[in-house]
Amino acid sequence: MNTYMEPATGPAECAACGWKGDAIDVECAIADFGDRVAPGEICPAGECPECGALAHLIEKPDPAPELLAALKALRTELRAHVKLDVKRHYSLMVADAAAGTAIAKAEA
Ligand SMILES: [Zn+2]
């Protein structure tokens, strides 16, 4: 008997074969759901389009809002200092770039 999962979108992957793609491409009908998914286990998005194993949505970690705000504040500070003396504060420029990358990643 098949169990039909609510169609989902977003990044998904199959732990069995390594397939990665969009959840829209997984097979929403899961055969023998009760035998394959234990109670309390993370609910699969569906069956892997490549191998038929269970595919799951990839959970995007929630960026900690306080941490992000602190990072932005730090970056503002860094920028102010870098402006004063670019040559002397090369390492601050590097730190600024690193903070910028982290912020962009968290907000993606
Ligand atoms: Zn697979």
* pLDDT of amino acid 48: 97
Give me the residues near ligand 1 (ion), CB cutoff below 5 Å: 14, 16-17, 19, 48, 50-51, 53
Distance between Cα 10 and ligand 1 center (Å): 16
Beta carbons of 12 and 26 less than 8 angstroms apart = yes
Residues 74 and 52 in one domain: no
**Mean pLDDT confidence for 23-47:** 92
pLDDT in tens, 52-67: 999 999 987 677 888 8
Give the predicted TM-score (pTM) of the model: 0.57
Whether the Cβ atoms of residue 29 and residue 45 lie closer than 8 Å to each other: no
* Same domain assignment for residues 49 and 81: no
Ligand 1 centroid to residue 89 C-alpha, Å: 49
90 CB neighbour count, 10 Å cutoff: 11
> 20 lies in which domain range?
2-57
Same domain for 76 and 53: no
State yes or no: pLDDT of 86 exceeds 70.
no
Number of domains in the chain: 2
Q: How far is 11 from 98, CA to CA, in rounded Å? A: 26
- Among 11-25, 28-42, 56-70, name the one with the lowest average pLDDT: 56-70
- The predicted structure's pLDDT at residue 60: 73
* Cα 51 to ligand 1 centroid, rounded to whole Å: 4
| Distance (Å, whole) CA 102 – CA 71 | 8
| Residue 91 in this model has a pLDDT that exceeds 80 | no
